[in-house]
């Protein structure tokens, strides 16, 4: 059973918007901060957002601050990432997983993170 299912990716032009969704199975998200991670072609996966279980606080990588907004619907066991003003550098496969935000501001997968298949985002110039 896949623990998470990401969706909402696609092909957009520079400046466009997309909204990604991440659906958890069962009670998989209960009590967990949830993050979005991006893997660009030829690069390692990087954390770009992390939102607390309450949804009251979110951290963002500098590359997406002011453009991306994370949110969650606990009742629907779903986490979202609203992406605005997309740039070609945002191209990659986007994954959601449990996260931690360390003091340096870096977002990392937590020790209980489980990975889905991701959703492809392609931003054309």
Give pLDDT, residue 2: 53
Tens digits of residue pLDDT in 28-50: 788 999 999 999 999 999 999 99
Reported confidence tier of residue 68, pLDDT bands at 50, 70, 90: very high
67 Rama sector, left if φ>0, alpha if ψ -120 to 50, beta otherwise: alpha
- Whether the per-residue pLDDT at 79 is higher than 90: the answer is yes
Tens digits of residue pLDDT in 91-125: 999 999 999 988 777 999 999 898 999 999 999 99
Per-residue DSSP letter, 36: E
Of 56, 32, 66, 34, the C-alpha closest to 47 is 34
Arithmetic mean of pLDDT, 57-85? 96
């Amino acid at each position: 059973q896949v623990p998470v299912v990401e969706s909402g990716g696609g092909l957009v032009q520079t400046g466009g918007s997309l909204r990604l969704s991440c659906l958890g199975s069962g009670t998989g998200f209960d009590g967990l901060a949830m993050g979005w991670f991006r893997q660009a072609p030829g690069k390692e996966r990087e954390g770009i957002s992390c939102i607390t279980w309450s949804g009251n606080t979110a951290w963002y990588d500098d590359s997406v601050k002011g453009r991306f907004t994370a949110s969650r619907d606990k009742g629907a066991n779903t986490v979202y990432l609203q992406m605005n003003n997309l740039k070609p550098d945002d191209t990659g496969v986007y994954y959601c997983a449990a996260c931690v935000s360390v003091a340096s501001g870096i977002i990392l997968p937590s020790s209980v993170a489980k990975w889905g298949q991701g959703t492809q985002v392609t931003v054309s110039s």
